[in-house]
Amino acid sequence: MTVNRRPLIDRSLAVLAEGYAWLPNRMRDSAEPVLCTRVLGRPALAVRGPDAVRFFYDEDHVRRHGALPEPVRATLFGQDPVHTLDGDAHRTRKRIFLPLLSPDRVTGIVEEVVRAWDDAVPEWAAQPRITLFDEAGTVLTRGICRWAGVPLPDGDAAHPGPVAKVPSAPGRTRGLSSQALAADLLAMVDGFATAGPRHFRARRARNRQEVRLAHLVDAVRAGTATAPTGSVLDAVCRHRDADGEPLGARTAAVELLNVLRPTAAVAWFVAFAAHALHRWPAHREPLRDGDPAFATAFAHEVRRFYPFAPFLGGLAVRELSWRGATLPEGGIVLLDVYGQNHDEKLWGDPYAFRPQRFLDRPAAVDALIPQGGGDPHTNHRCPGENVTIGLLEALAVRLARLEYTLPEQDLTIPLRRIPTRPRSGVVLTDVRADPAAR
């Protein structure tokens, strides 16, 4: 089969030029959902489909250690995060995050974020205009920090709550607002896939927050600060890895950020939800009515329809064969996330925004993969996926009940930009709360 032919030309630069369309464009004419290519100087195998998801998440086939390019580690994940571990090391580290999967813990996060949203609406109403993407990031940051037991930076006006109390590191965070913390968390996501100013902004943001949170971890361990019992901060400070050793303060800070950062990143989906309600306003009424089944379907469709992660990557543990294509040990395996979420064979009408598709049938775990596939307990699927779904369900309802004007602006979603979002960030004016919102 022609899929076995190994190309000699490296296609890495094409990713920057084509963005989300890079793999779908190349796989479109393939007889099988598989493609041989070359990226980052290595042979690569791109795969798609539910069977490919199971193939990709099998640790006998693909490993994550050493797979992430340094620019991605330095911005999105940090040094030595759970995402780069395999086997027992990965499963042991992931025990920090698995409590996020329990329904009561997800409910707690959603309640904190919803409270932060409701508190923010009067602030938005007092302003002539807001940018929803930025404001959603701040709301999400306030909510997740309160839930995780992480103190917000000095100067924040959010409600007090069960969070650690610790003196500020001199000269580091004093006077910093939660808006600035949210901006740093969003910057880490926004800059992972570019070589320009966004990337260097992301590096600076990560370093700034790792220093702040490492100081917090040291203070908790030294007894000069207390972490609420059962909080994420408490779990990270007490966690011992597979070797029996506690996490270094900087690594602990990295894992704290791996709770805060992806939660703040739900701002992308909030902006996409607003975009969908603008383009297809008929969906606003069932959301306003609070139909929980429709809210779930709407959340799934936003995550499927709108682009977030273009693909995921790992390294071949040994020589691999898939659908007639071969890959040598150490080659790169790419899971085509965007392409699978828009695969006509799976979705029928993939470029139609139709939440009803998830009322007709449940979201198949290895078909809908905006945050990866596999089992979150044993594989690399994001353990916070249920958190994302719960937050988007609740905030989509709040957004549908919010009264506002959408002025003329550029709502284009450029597919060459990774991660993309509406160019304007979704600007709202004349914001006012609907009494039904509470």
Predicted model pTM: 0.90
With 0-12 / 13-18 / 19 or more C-beta atoms within 10 angstroms meaning exposed / middle / buried, residue 151 is buried
Counting the structural domains of the chain, the total is: 1
Contact 376, 382 (CB under 8 A): yes
Cis upstream peptide for 419 (omega within 30°): yes
Instruction: Give the pLDDT of residue 158.
Output: 44
Question: How many angstroms separate the CA atoms of 128 and 40, rounded?
Answer: 47
Contact 407, 426 (CB under 8 A): no
Instruction: Give the pLDDT of residue 196.
Output: 87
Instruction: Give the pLDDT of residue 80.
Output: 75
Instruction: Give the pLDDT of residue 379.
Output: 53
Question: How many angstroms separate the CA atoms of 88 and 100, rounded?
Answer: 20
Long-range contacts of 70-76 (CB under 8 A, 24+ apart): 71/192, 71/195, 71/199, 72/192, 72/193, 74/202, 74/203, 74/206, 75/188, 75/191, 75/192, 75/199, 75/202, 75/203, 75/206, 76/188, 76/189, 76/192, 76/202, 76/261
With 0-12 / 13-18 / 19 or more C-beta atoms within 10 angstroms meaning exposed / middle / buried, residue 406 is middle
CATH number at residue 134: 1.10.630.10
Q: Measured between alpha carbons, how far is residue 310 from residues 21, 189, 278 in Å?
A: 8, 13, 24
Name the residue among 48, 104, 75 with its Cα closest to residue 185: 75
Question: How many angstroms separate the CA atoms of 28 and 250, rounded?
Answer: 43
Question: How many angstroms separate the CA atoms of 152 and 148, rounded?
Answer: 11
Name the residue among 239, 233, 295 with its Cα closest to residue 258: 233
DSSP string, 243-288: TSPBPPHHHHHHHHHHHHHHHHTHHHHHHHHHHHHHH-GGGHHHHH
Per-run averaged pLDDT (10 residues), the chain, 438 residues: 55 86 87 87 94 94 84 82 74 76 88 97 97 98 96 57 50 62 97 88 95 96 94 92 90 93 97 98 97 97 96 95 94 96 95 96 89 66 82 98 98 96 98 68
Residue 244 sits in which domain range? Answer: 2-437
Phi–psi pair at 376, nearest 5 degrees: -65, -20
Helix (H) or strand (E) holding 35: strand 34-39
Phi–psi pair at 430, nearest 5 degrees: 50, 45
Instruction: Give the pLDDT of residue 273.
Output: 98
CA dihedral 332, 337, 339, 343 (to 10 degrees): 130
Name the residue among 206, 210, 212 with its Cα closest to residue 191: 206
Instruction: Give the pLDDT of residue 87.
Output: 79
Both tokens assigned to 17: 């030029």
Question: How many angstroms separate the CA atoms of 23 and 334, rounded?
Answer: 9
HEC readout, 300-344? HHHHHHCCCCCCEEEEECCCEEECCEEECCCCEEEECHHHHHCCH
Token pair 């139709």 is found at: 354
Rg (CA), the chain: 22
Q: Measured between alpha carbons, how far is residue 68 from residues 55, 248, 274, 275 in Å?
A: 19, 21, 32, 31
